[in-house]
Structure 1
């Protein structure tokens, strides 16, 4: 993640990457161990993406878009549901029957969220925000994703300013844990 361009282009590219990982999971038979590898990768991408959206995208939506508060609140609520599913999924192996139930729930939740953003939120933001502001938001989102956590933290704050203060520290700890465990990497 970190593609360049304005915030909407950046986030839509992230959405396509997540969908590609979902496709890889769906292409494998239940119980196959690579399903867990791809689930870990999708979790890492979704957590970074969500943290960046909560830090920069949703505050911009609140500021610029008519009815932006309600839109941002709905998106943050979607993130909270998905984050709890990811946290529950973290403790499951691919062979665990709960894994299939949880990954299916996650895919359903995320696909609905992505569609809502792309069909409603992004067009509203594009209409309300000058192109230069969208470009600046894209830069901020890319920087936030570099420092963001890679594991779900359902009890962490999801609105500024606390989320911006705590995310880099949690991100550092998560990246160290990932490096030590090999999480998200093929053996």
Structure 2
């Protein structure tokens, strides 16, 4: 029997497909956050979602900054576009650090997550409409990049330890490892 794959213009082992999947995961976490943000009895779940969101964004950013962006910069030679993308990452990283410094029940968390969402959505849209098409046009070896990114992602997620599912009550204390608390390689 043949496997059924969702209709996409790229293979499952494609670097852009991996990044797009991360984009969708982040958007889903924001939707879940929106659904519970005003529910006082869901404070623990909200805190877990915020932690998971920050970790997901941080890992994704490292994949782009350490592997995808350098390859794309070399292939397209558009330093201005790449500098803008990296500046967006720095801004998002700053917001994540602000969120991580807040107590989970701090009223500022909701406002900062909202600003994070707005900035990140603009950045994701820019990537999807500008950077990713340029990567395809440049003829990058997206399968090889996918392999490198998958290895780094596994390493980063392994460093942060297992994440409990939202609502499981298994909240970890603190943010250890590269995926949550360390600054990204570019600031």
2:153 equivalent to 1:145: yes
Distance 1:64 1:37, change over 3 A: same
Aligned counterpart, 1:71? 81
Distance 1:93 1:8, change over 3 A: same
TM-score, with normalisation over the residues of structure 1?
0.76
* Alpha-carbon offset, residue 92 of structure 1: 2.4
* Alpha-carbon offset, residue 4 of structure 1: 4.6
Rg larger in 1 or in 2? 2
* Alpha-carbon offset, residue 5 of structure 1: 1.3
Aligned counterpart, 1:38? 49
How many residues align? The count is: 153
- In proportion to residue count, which structure has more helix? 1
Aligned counterpart, 2:67? 56
RMSD across aligned C-alpha pairs, in angstroms? 1.9
Give the unaligned 5+ runs of structure 2. Answer: 1-10, 157-177
TM-score, with normalisation over the residues of structure 2?
0.76
Question: In the aligned structure 2, how far is the partner of 1:152 from the partner of 1:114?
Answer: 22
Give the unaligned 5+ runs of structure 1. Answer: 160-187
Question: In the aligned structure 2, how far is the partner of 1:19 from the partner of 1:104?
Answer: 12
Aligned counterpart, 1:109? 119
* Alpha-carbon offset, residue 28 of structure 1: 0.9
Question: In the aligned structure 1, how far is the partner of 2:181 from the partner of 2:71?
Answer: 23
2:131 equivalent to 1:121: yes
Question: In the aligned structure 1, how far is the partner of 2:35 from the partner of 2:106?
Answer: 18
* Alpha-carbon offset, residue 152 of structure 1: 4.3
Runs of 4+ in 1 over 6 A off after TM superposition: none
